[in-house]
């Protein structure tokens, strides 16, 4: 039984159908596995019957999300590397906020999108992560590192919409109130903006789940240069798809814009960008470029970042300048991944 792949209802149905175990204690056991302790055959919880069921579940449990082989911190952010059962490695980052922690999780080993400014994009694509391997990153942070997350962002290695089935099942497990109980409004799926994936996500009707678009350019010419996926699906197609997305009242889509010196940081770029998002309910996150290994691109100065944000704000765009965290240990946005993986 792979507990990290199961919601409570799926856990209950599995115990009942496969092992003829049922009753009120099933809920206590599920919550205990996710909230109180890592499973152990010798563990006890709040009633003899529940303890007996807990030990039975521990005896049939498969818990193989991988092994943490490295933990690095810069005194603020924490990056941990997990070696999976097949030897591949993934990276996750814990980001401290004012009142809580956010965990940036990976959804794939590598990525087939190939964004030129992104470290993961230089790895190529190896495989999708399983639901267990995705949830396991949050589980490991809680039980191995002692860090409990309130926010989950799918902004690590990989394109989440290319692994949508496993990502959505992971969201369901993370969201389950009897388990980790992370609210949908605290979970964000980031994507380059594939039309089919966004439409499929919309049909699921998961109200509150946040959507973030990695845009990074004001027009197709620049976007195709730094994000090859744009050659397949244009910014106009993406704009139309977002206009049709069933946002709840007052809900917005996050637009992430990685600011790269002399590529997408000019005044005319800000004007094009403001016009592009004018009809979409957006919150714009501007992130100064974090250089990857052997990068041909340059980071903007702080003055250039402020100027670009000011131009957007003057056009009425809701703008948030994201502060860089973890850059010195290759844990910042766009820096995750080991290119030598095979």
pLDDT tens-digit profile of 195-243?
A: 999 999 999 999 999 999 999 999 999 999 999 989 888 999 999 999 9
Longest dimension (CA), the chain: 69
Residue 334: pLDDT band with limits 50, 70, 90:
low
Long-range contacts of 218-227 (CB under 8 A, 24+ apart): 218/264, 218/268, 218/269, 218/270, 218/271, 218/272, 218/273, 218/276, 219/272, 222/263, 222/264, 222/269, 225/116, 225/263, 226/115, 226/116, 226/117, 226/260, 226/263, 226/264, 227/113, 227/115, 227/116, 227/192
Residue 128 has pLDDT above 50, yes or no: yes
pLDDT band at 326 (very low <50, low <70, confident <90, very high): very low
SS3 of residue 191 by DSSP = strand
Overall pTM > 0.85: yes
What's residue 331's pLDDT?
A: 46
Average pLDDT, the chain: 89
Most confident of 66-80, 215-229, 246-260: 215-229
pLDDT value of residue 189: 98
Cβ atoms of residues 217 and 223 within 8 Å: yes
Catalytic residue (choose from 104, 111, 115, 333): 333
- pLDDT of amino acid 210: 96
Q: Residue 18: what pLDDT? A: 78
- 333 as an active site residue: the answer is yes
Q: What's the pLDDT at 307?
A: 97
**Residue 50: pLDDT over 60:** yes
121: pLDDT strictly greater than 90: no
Write out pLDDT tens, residues 285-317: 999 998 877 788 999 999 999 999 999 999 999
Give the separation between CA 185 and CA 174, rounded to whole angstroms. 12
> pLDDT class for 258, splitting at 50, 70, 90?
very high
Higher pLDDT among residues 43 and 180, named by residue: 180
Confidence of residue 31 (pLDDT cuts 50, 70, 90): confident
Q: For the chain, what percent of residues have pLDDT higher than 90?
A: 68
Q: Render pLDDT for 51-67 as a digit per residue (tens, 0 to 9).
A: 788 788 888 888 888 99
Domains of the chain, CATH where assigned: 3-60 (no CATH), 67-329 (3.20.20.70)
User: Tens digits of per-residue pLDDT, 148-163?
Assistant: 999 999 999 999 999 9
Question: Which pLDDT band, with edges at 50, 70 and 90, does 89 fall under?
Answer: very high
User: Mean pLDDT, to the nearest integer, of 83-99?
Assistant: 93
H-only helix segments in the chain? 8-19, 25-31, 48-60, 131-143, 164-175, 195-203, 220-226, 235-243, 267-277, 302-314
Token couple for 28? 């206590």
31: number of Cβ within 10 Å: 18
């Amino acid at each position: 039984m792979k507990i990290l792949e199961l919601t409570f209802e799926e856990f209950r149905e599995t115990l009942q159908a496969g092992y003829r175990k049922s009753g009120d204690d099933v809920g206590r056991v599920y919550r205990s596995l996710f909230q109180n302790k890592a499973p152990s055959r010798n563990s006890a919880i709040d009633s003899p019957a529940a303890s007996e069921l807990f030990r039975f579940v521990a005896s049939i449990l498969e818990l193989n999300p991988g092994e943490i082989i490295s933990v690095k911190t810069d005194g603020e952010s924490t990056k941990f590397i997990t070696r999976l059962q097949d030897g591949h490695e993934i990276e996750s980052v814990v980001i401290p906020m004012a009142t809580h922690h956010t965990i940036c999780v990976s959804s794939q080993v590598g990525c087939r999108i190939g964004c030129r400014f992104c470290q993961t994009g230089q790895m190529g694509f190896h495989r999708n992560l399983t639901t267990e391997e995705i949830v396991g990153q949050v589980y490991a942070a809680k039980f191995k590192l002692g860090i409990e997350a309130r926010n989950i962002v799918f902004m690590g290695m990989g394109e989440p919409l290319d692994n949508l089935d496993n990502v959505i099942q992971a969201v369901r497990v993370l969201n389950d109130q009897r388990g980790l109980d992370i609210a949908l409004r605290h979970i964000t799926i980031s994507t380059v903006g594939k039309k089919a994936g966004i439409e499929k996500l919309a049909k699921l009707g998961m109200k509150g789940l946040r959507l973030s678009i990695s845009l990074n350019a004001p027009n197709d010419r620049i976007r195709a240069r730094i994000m090859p996926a744009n050659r397949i699906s244009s910014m106009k197609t993406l704009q139309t798809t977002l206009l049709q997305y069933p946002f709840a009242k007052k809900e917005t889509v996050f637009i992430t814009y990685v600011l790269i010196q002399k590529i997408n940081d000019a005044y005319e770029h800000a004007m094009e960008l403001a016009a592009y998002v004018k009809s979409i309910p957006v919150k714009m996150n501007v992130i100064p470029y974090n250089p990857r290994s052997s990068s041909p691109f340059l980071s903007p100065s702080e003055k250039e970042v402020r100027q670009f944000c000011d131009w957007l704000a003057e056009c009425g765009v809701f703008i948030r300048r994201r502060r860089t965290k973890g850059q010195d240990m290759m844990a910042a946005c766009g820096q995750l991944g080991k290119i030598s993986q095979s």
